[in-house]
Amino acid sequence: MQHLYLHVPFCRRRCTYCDFSIAVRKRIPAREYVDAVVQELRQGLTDPGRKPRDPGDSEDGLETIYFGGGTPSLLPPDALATLLTSVRDVFRLTSLRDAVEVTLEANPEDVTLETATAWRRAGVNRVSLGAQSFDDRVLQWMHRSHDAARIAAAVRTLRDAGVDNISLDLIFALPAELERDWARDLEQAVALGPAHLSLYGLTVEERTPLARWISRGAAAPPDDDRYADEYLLAHSRLAACGYRFYEVSNAARDGCRSRHNSAYWSGRPYRGLGPAAHSFDGAERRWNLAAWEAYRRAVAAGRSPVASREVLNDEQRELERVYLALRTDAGLDVATLYRPLPSSTALWVDRGWVEVRNQRLVCTPEGWLRLDALVRDLTGCATTS
């Protein structure tokens, strides 16, 4: 089974907290982008040792396709359709049956009946909407370009177009001065009945507007207590509404987990296309040039767009394996640990931070708040998260 990620780097403007590798553009260079990614895909430029039509690339071989960004919904629908046709061709799929999970990250303001219908026709069957909050004041502070009403309208429109598998992204732990009502935002999100929710605590990244505001005292720095309170509130509210946290930041109704992201968390190989996209073949991880122009020029010249590669040593692999396993509700098989369980594990269990189920260590919500410390205890290594 294979997992394909396509990074679409364009955004209309930069959000307050965002340090992603994006290209802010009024006009989206859709044709240049499609040409570059299709060329990378067809020539296997990031993967010169492996021809795109190797036997592993059979119809049954592709399980998920994920358009992430940036803002993939800024691509014109025909550009998206061209990309999916090329993927189908290279992977020899007769059609993009719904057996392949095809996710598009979208901003609410880009969802119209016309675009959503065209996405669905092209093969998209899952949309991850960047909602972030249902409070217009908060959305303006974040420098988002939609208002709260647009989120509900986008969900209705997606369903009208035949896309029922909808995920909403929300951000919590915002500065106190915003007086954001997190419980109300959760209620409004749940009222829309999404299949899936992704909840991210606000982090302050260097060289973002938010970091500058904090450094000059115009915004409060992150507050760990607020983070913990809001995280735990989300767990109790969403559990009461039929959602299960299957990963530290992700909750879903039964049968609606993200298959693409689950592949990352279980350490399966994936292939990334586009600027800044990462790939992993089971041993080596590599990533493309992050800047759009540098990526485009490399591909156009027939050069590999890979910026760098790494192979993890045994200790790094073990650290990553433990960390990824504990992020999920499947937890960590104790028998696979290289070292005996440390004595502190009993304390973690006593305090209700981890549970032992069928020889597996599984984090509780309180444990997920302390994930780095737990991984440090179990492996004796510092985490990098």
The site for ligand SF4 (CB under 6 A) is made up of 11, 14-15, 18, 20, 22, 69-71, 130
Nearest to 384 by CA among 310, 324, 314, 335: 324
Task: Determine contact, residues 371/248, Cβ cutoff 8 Å.
Answer: yes
Complex with ligand SF4: residue 13 or 42, whichever CB lies closer: 13
CA distances from 86 to 83, 90, 93, 310, 368 (A): 5, 6, 10, 29, 40
The DSSP secondary structure of 14-70, one letter per residue, reads --TT--S--EE-SS--HHHHHHHHHHHHHHTTT-TTS-TTSGGGSGGGEEEEEEEES
* Residue 268, SS3 per DSSP: coil
Complex with ligand SF4: residue 10 or 353, whichever CB lies closer: 10
Complex with ligand SF4: residue 214 or 356, whichever CB lies closer: 214
Complex with ligand SF4: residue 130 or 274, whichever CB lies closer: 130
For the bound state, the minimum distance from the C-beta of residue 105 to ligand SF4, rounded and expressed in Å, comes to 8
> Residues 6 or more apart from 186 whose CB is under 8 A from it?
170, 233, 234, 237, 238
For the bound state, the minimum distance from the C-beta of residue 107 to ligand SF4, rounded and expressed in Å, comes to 6
For the bound state, the minimum distance from the C-beta of residue 20 to ligand SF4, rounded and expressed in Å, comes to 5
For the bound state, the minimum distance from the C-beta of residue 15 to ligand SF4, rounded and expressed in Å, comes to 3
Nearest to 324 by CA among 250, 264, 258: 264
For the bound state, the minimum distance from the C-beta of residue 64 to ligand SF4, rounded and expressed in Å, comes to 20
Q: Are strands 62-69 and 278-280 parallel, antiparallel or unpaired?
A: unpaired
Complex with ligand SF4: residue 143 or 244, whichever CB lies closer: 143
Complex with ligand SF4: residue 8 or 251, whichever CB lies closer: 8
For the bound state, the minimum distance from the C-beta of residue 176 to ligand SF4, rounded and expressed in Å, comes to 22
Q: Nearest-5° angle of CA 340, CA 342, CA 348? A: 135
